[in-house]
Structure 1
Amino acid sequence: MFIEQIPVWLRFIKGIKWRFSHKKKTIYLTFDDGPIPEITPWVLVLLDKYHIKATFFCVGENVSKHPQLYQEILRRGHQTGNHTYKHIKALCTPNEEYFANVEKAASLIHSKLFRPPHGLMRYSQIKELRKHYRIILWDVVPRDYNRKLSPEKVLQKACRYTRNGSIIVFHDSLKAEKNMTYALPRYIEYCLSKGYQFELL
């Protein structure tokens, strides 16, 4: 399938949220990998236009480089979450090193929300981190970062797989810029036309 899927076993582990209740026509807009001055301000202006609040899972190193931009995210009423300090892969990193990287990010990102880069962790890492964080994954990621995909295809698949309670992830990154800046406003318009409401996690 085009959309990256959360491994089935992760969906049954306590302490991980990948989708909310299907009973409400509500979706949860999230962004990964920022903040960066080239992209994040554009996202903030767009969200203000539609009066939408979102959750930004920030890379600690980017927060360290752009602290005023991080504060602007908060000032505008959005949430933030921890996305590690260096955007490291959990499965390729020893546990203690991974936890230290998360905690380094936590010194800058004061949030109880955590999303692992690439959506994968060892069970031993999950067990430890869920003691301290709400681990948030997703059920829709339109792969806006994939430069082999057209902006139209990214939008098409994002709309197709969104459903009640969906957590969708876009990326405020240079890699995703072309696809995301095309797809995001059109995706928002689509969701509003279908009667969805956007809420914070």
Structure 2
Amino acid sequence: MYLIKTPKFIQELFPNFTWKIPSEDKVVYLTFDDGPIPGVTPWVLEQLAQYNAKATFFCVGNNIEKHPEVFEQVRAGGHSIGNHTFNHLNGWSSDNLPYFHNIRHCANLTKTVLFRPPYGKLRPRQTQFLLRHYRIVMWDVLSGDFDPNITEEQCLLNVTRNVEPGSIVVFHDSLKAEEKLRYALPKALAYFAEQGYRFEALNEQEMIVHQDQRKSA
């Protein structure tokens, strides 16, 4: 069970997480989890380049170590990088200290304070600790590209029907999601381009400033 559109009451329950970027402009923030993966991530980069689109890649550290050349392609494309733990760990089923070490291991590779917990799952004490060191990025719209029980068409509709200005959208540059991703991503890019949207990467420094402002408000 998962939610395609994150309800506002959930976003308000966890105000220290970044769910979307407030904007009056037509801008959407595409994010890709679980890479880098040969064949999949380079294809994503090609699709983005056709629209001069920038995105954010929440990378698994183990995949960075296995595929450093693909990781460098992401960086060279001018995209933002995020931390998705070293071994794609579920915070709910992980002891705190090993979980923190796993995240730090990945941080040594990504060199970023942007962090997205796999499955969006964190324990309260994990959250408290991580917020002192990272900017926790969740999402406003989940494509569902990982779900074998939905169609390619539904995956696309999950995105096109729910994006608003400033939405953070989750896709996966993984083998599990590849089939639906190859269908939905080009069509989503074309759709939002026709609607006058631009595609931007999450800006680490701007997010730090924004979060500090929210804390002091």
TM-score calculated relative to the size of structure 2 = 0.88
Alignment of 1:85 with 2:89, yes or no, is no
Q: Distance in 1 between matches of 2:39 and 2:149?
A: 21
Q: Distance in 2 between matches of 1:165 and 1:16?
A: 15
Deviations 1:46-70 (Å, cap 9, x if unpaired)?
A: 1111110100000000001011111
Deviations 1:155-185 (Å, cap 9, x if unpaired)?
A: 0121001111100010000110110010001
Report how many aligned residue pairs link the two structures: 201
Residue in 1 that maps onto 2:138: 137
AA matched with 1:24 = D
Residue in 1 that maps onto 2:103: 102
Helix, strand or coil for the counterpart of 1:98?
helix
Alignment of 1:186 with 2:190, yes or no, is no
Q: Give me the CA root mean square deviation.
A: 1.6
Change (3 A) 1:165 1:4: closer
CA shift for structure 1 position 150:
1.0
Residue in 2 that maps onto 1:19: 20
Unaligned runs of 5+ in 2: 203-217
Residue in 1 that maps onto 2:205: none
Change (3 A) 1:149 1:196: same
Alignment of 1:170 with 2:162, yes or no, is no
Residue in 2 that maps onto 1:159: 160
AA matched with 2:62 = E
Any residues of structure 2 matched to 1:25-104 within 5 Å, and which? 25-104=26-105
Residue in 2 that maps onto 1:122: 123
Q: Distance in 2 between matches of 1:119 and 1:2?
A: 11
Deviations 1:110-149 (Å, cap 9, x if unpaired)?
A: 1110000011211211111111111110010111011221
Identity of aligned residues (%): 43
Q: Distance in 2 between matches of 1:192 and 1:57?
A: 23
CA shift for structure 1 position 35:
0.3
Residue in 2 that maps onto 1:148: 149
Change (3 A) 1:38 1:45: same
Unaligned runs of 5+ in 1: none
